[in-house]
Structure 1
Amino acid sequence: MEQQAKVRSRKIQLRTLYGTFFAALLSSLAIYVATVSTWRTRDLGPANRVAIPLTVLCWIAFAICAHREDKREEKVSVRKLQLGLDVAEEQKLLEAFKLAIPAPQRQFTYKEALPRELERLRTEAQHYRRIHNSFQSIIIMGSIGTTTAASLTDTPSSLKWVTVGLSFGVGVAAGFTGYFKYRERSFYLQQTADAIEQHINAYELGIPPYTDEEEVNLTKLAREVENLRVEQRKREQQLDQPHEGRDGTV
């Protein structure tokens, strides 16, 4: 539990650090682009009186988070903490095997570890969903911005690089989305997590197919969860293959 708390705390720290940075950066870019595109044609004073203080606050928040991160004595990555947690779980299982613990007790230990597996699956699903939504936002806003800038009859020279940058960003985002298939990865991970949770709830409530003795139900639960995990690994392998390989062509 202590290791899990460390992982959650570290994730919050890093998300706050990167979140404030990207919020401040995007806000600054938005103010700059809006100012350049409406220079001497529209008064952005009322909007800037709100946007600029918010941007400054974001930069201040990022500076505070960066200072705390720099002064932090123990700088451990989330991956390293997660690895330590996985190692602890593996050691726990190895100790159980060394003690020749009966299968029902090992299955019970397996069941107790399922909530962490659910959390891992949902965290990965949320991670891929967040990446997909970010790229989709870039594609949508970039496409609209590029079309709008290109449709201007007298496009200022200062906006040409903006148009090029937006077009490049849209192309990169579309390419990464199509190649790495973040949406599909998120969908399959969430689907597997929901299916495992359904089996856990059925086991806890004693509803079909978990209506037998405790040992039999534990065996069924372990078998069903392992089948779901195998299917998930097969889907991941399929997504990692090139498009031609998935189609069965050379």
Structure 2
Amino acid sequence: KQHTAPVSPHSSTALLDAFDSAHPSPEDEEERLPKQRHASGDTHCSRQPGPWKVHTQIDYIHCLVPDLQAITALPCYWGVMDRYQAEALLDGRPEGTFLLRDSAQEDYLFSVSFRRYNRSLHARIEQWNHNFSFDAHDPCVFHSSTVTGLLEHYKDPSACMFFEPLLTAPLHRTFPFSLQHLARAAICRHTTYDGIGALPLPPTMQDFLKEYHYKQKVRVRWLEREPPLKVK
């Protein structure tokens, strides 16, 4: 998809802040943690004007990454890697050299590390409404239904704003993925998140297959109001 709307100044500021190594993000400080699945319904309590409290429940669906097999086949995908390892690999490389890796944060699946402005920068890939983007909540920023489609767009320097990743020269992985990793990608191509639960596999293996997934909000329900507890 190509967006012709003017670029929001807020998006450029946010993305530049994300790329600025002087402002380390939580991802910069953490190694990748195992992704944990969330409950399908999260309950929240919000304060409304007056003495009443209103409870809301947010319902989610869980979806597998649609192009996991294509991602696994990318020469530029390195799997589990923190920012420091990525920076060591990119050090001294030409402008536009990049790699794709697993994000260090639970709320994100993938990140790109790339060379621009004579330094190594990092950007998380966000997901919203089944689309992937470097700023999912700004409609002016390009988004794609697949991670591979997102990377393909930013290979064209003429399509990249000054604050966006430039991904023109993939840094090739120097090792093969395990057979277990490749098998997961192949299986996930032919099933769904819920479909994995119906497979005749032990729970630990089902959890392994579900690792690369995201959750999508589908409904917000307002539950009954209740008065605050009176303290005697």
Structure whose residues are more often helix by fraction: 1
Pick 1 or 2: higher relative contact order, CA cutoff 8 A, min separation 6.
2
TM over 0.5: no
**TM-score normalised to structure 2 length:** 0.23
Structure whose residues are more often strand by fraction: 2
